[in-house]
């Protein structure tokens, strides 16, 4: 456990803190101001109960049962029934890093103090988080409206001593979950259960993980693309600053500048100064236009998800002495940006696959077909390209937007939903596929540079070549490539290739 603390006030959590939480794990606790505001909203809920005023989810049923009033004596039972009955998720448990972020985002949202939940409930949630006792949260079962109800119910179940959790590689059940964090089961009151279940934290955590990966993948794609420019004896002129200033698009200009930071003085570039090629294929010379649009998409996603870090997404909400029902639980903004990122990253994979094809079919006459040592006897990267094509095509299907596929639930009461969790899960599958496509491009371009020796590339790209060769030694003969692809894919996802981009300004979150 890190010595540092992360004080949650519902107003100042950043995407960087969310991204870094899994590696740094600062101790999290509520601010004094958050406790004060939370107590104020709890007091309002208690006044509502005492007055008999009808308040959704406090003294009424849920969803289609919203018109069924519940007696004051049954309000506690209502919250327990809610948690237990909504534990209907299915599928594999979400990964630990995602669960940590879900817990962090939920606690911070409740800290804003509009949810009517007691601070001791959030203290228990944070005790589990600080002890790295992570509730088992199934990946499937949320349509991303009325909150991520089913998955979050499994998190809430752990707080009342009836759920499951992972801790130090062990599966804990029932009271043992809370005992591992030195806690006792929460006794639910009034709106506690509803505040825990209602919210978009599953959708948000998945989208944020997609964003964090997307940033590394875009930077990697710029590195791989520039390496391919050199390997293909491509022109540097399409990246001239004047061209991109004329288009007047921020992302395009940032991407072109980043590519220029990788190119420059190069023996390879000098060697074909008098060649008769007039223009390079679009997958080479249009990289700033295509990947600039990706950069702009990620910038929009960053703005939306930064806001989501400090948002209230449950219902109803308590403002001073008034309880208001609305629809902040609808995850459409998150579903949209997950879908946007999915489409953008699919395009990164599509254009990378085209560059791989160029590398393998002797567009540069100094390269052998499929980068083989003995064409015919050897196949070189022939089937690695087939793998890249398969993954690029798979991503095209996965990129179909989830957010346009609403389906009504709860007897029509919840008649429009976002499907944001599915959008987020698809997005993560796309990032895995894209990492493998970019790994194949990097391996191909690195092998192409080997064939162009003794000519050297730019200083920045020679560092990239060296980094790949440090992991995957050169080989002039056929060899199995799956392990090489896996190793470079992991390095990409870990951000090791992205770190080789000299110009990082304007990217990130």
The 10 Å Cβ neighbour count of residue 66 is 15
Distance CA 506, CA 283 (A): 23
Distance CA 88, CA 224 (A): 44
* Intra-chain end-to-end CA distance of the chain, in Å: 25
Secondary structure element (H or E) that encloses residue 6, with its range? strand 5-8
Contact of 58 with 75, CB cutoff 8 Å: yes
Distance CA 267, CA 264 (A): 10
Q: Is 2 left (phi over 0), alpha (psi -120 to 50) or beta?
A: beta
Alpha-carbon distances of 173 from 79, 135, 163, 164, rounded to whole Å:
21, 10, 6, 4
Rg (CA), the chain: 26
The candidate with the shortest Cα–Cα distance to 127, out of 179, 168, 181, is 181
Q: What is the DSSP letter of 91?
A: E
Phi first, then psi: give them for residue 172, nearest 5 degrees: -110, 150
Secondary structure element (H or E) that encloses residue 173, with its range? strand 170-173
The 3-class secondary structure across 184-235, one letter per residue, is CCCCCCCCHHHHHHCCCHHHHHHHHHHHHHHHHHHHHHHHHHHHHHHHCCCC
Q: What is the DSSP letter of 310?
A: T
Q: Is 249 helix (H, G, I), strand (E, B) or coil?
A: coil
Q: Is 165 left (phi over 0), alpha (psi -120 to 50) or beta?
A: beta
The 3-class secondary structure across 364-410, one letter per residue, is CCCCCHHHCCCECCECCCHHHHHHHHHHHHHHHHHCCCCCCCCCCEH
- Would you call 509 a catalytic residue per the annotation? no
The candidate with the shortest Cα–Cα distance to 464, out of 486, 480, 449, is 449
Looking at the DSSP bridge assignments, the partners of residue 27 are 5
Q: Tokens representing 33?
A: 């101001």
Mark 371-393 as b/e (b = at least 16 C-beta within 10 Å). Answer: bbeeeeebebbeebbebbbebbe
> Active-site residues: which are they?
56
């Amino acid at each position: 456990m890190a010595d540092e603390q992360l004080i949650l006030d519902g107003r100042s959590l950043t995407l960087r803190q969310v991204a870094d939480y899994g590696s740094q794990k600062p101790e999290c606790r509520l601010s004094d101001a958050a406790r004060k505001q939370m107590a104020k909203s709890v007091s309002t809920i208690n006044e509502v109960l005492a007055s008999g005023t009808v308040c959704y989810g406090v003294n009424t049923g849920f969803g289609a049962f919203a018109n069924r009033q519940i007696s004051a004596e049954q309000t506690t039972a209502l919250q327990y029934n809610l948690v237990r009955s909504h534990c209907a998720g299915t599928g594999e448990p979400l990964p630990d890093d995602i669960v940590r972020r879900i817990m962090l985002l939920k606690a911070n949202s409740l800290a804003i103090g509009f949810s009517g939940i007691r601070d001791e409930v959030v203290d228990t949630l944070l005790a589990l988080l600080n002890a790295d006792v992570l509730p088992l949260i199934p990946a499937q079962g949320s349509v991303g409206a009325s909150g991520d109800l089913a998955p979050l119910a499994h998190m809430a179940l752990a707080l009342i001593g009836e759920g499951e959790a992972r801790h130090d590689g062990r599966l804990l059940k029932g009271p043992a979950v809370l005992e591992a964090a030195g806690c006792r089961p929460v006794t639910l009151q009034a709106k506690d259960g509803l505040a825990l279940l209602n919210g978009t934290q599953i959708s948000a955590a998945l989208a944020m993980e997609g964003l964090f990966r997307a940033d590394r993948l875009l930077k990697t794609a710029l590195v791989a693309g520039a390496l391919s420019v050199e390997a293909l004896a491509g022109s540097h002129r399409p990246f001239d600053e004047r061209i991109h200033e004329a288009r007047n698009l921020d992302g395009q200009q940032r991407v072109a500048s980043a590519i220029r930071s990788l190119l420059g003085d190069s023996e390879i570039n000098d060697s074909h100064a008098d060649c008769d090629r007039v223009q390079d294929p679009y997958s080479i010379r249009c990289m700033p236009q295509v990947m600039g649009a990706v950069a702009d998409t990620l910038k929009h996603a960053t703005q939306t998800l930064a806001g989501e870090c400090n948002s209230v997404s449950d219902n109803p909400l308590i403002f001073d002495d008034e309880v208001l029902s609305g629809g902040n639980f609808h995850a459409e903004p998150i579903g949209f940006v997950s879908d946007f990122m999915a489409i953008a990253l699919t395009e990164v994979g599509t254009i990378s696959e085209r560059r791989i094809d160029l590398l393998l079919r002797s567009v540069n006459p100094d390269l052998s077909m499929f980068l083989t040592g003995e064409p015919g006897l050897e196949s070189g990267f022939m089937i690695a390209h087939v793998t890249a094509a398969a993954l690029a095509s798979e991503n095209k299907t996965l990129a179909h937007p989830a957010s346009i596929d609403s389906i009504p639930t709860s007897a029509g009461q919840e008649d429009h939903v976002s499907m944001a969790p599915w959008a987020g899960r698809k997005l993560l599958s796309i990032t895995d596929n894209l990492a493998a496509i970019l790994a194949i491009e990097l391996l191909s371009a690195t092998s192409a540079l080997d064939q162009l020796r003794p000519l050297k590339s730019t200083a920045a790209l020679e560092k990239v070549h060296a980094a790949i060769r440090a992991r995957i030694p050169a080989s002039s003969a056929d060899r199995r490539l799956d392990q090489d692809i896996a190793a470079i894919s992991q390095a990409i996802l870990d951000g090791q290739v992205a770190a080789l981009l000299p110009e990082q300004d304007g990217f990130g979150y």
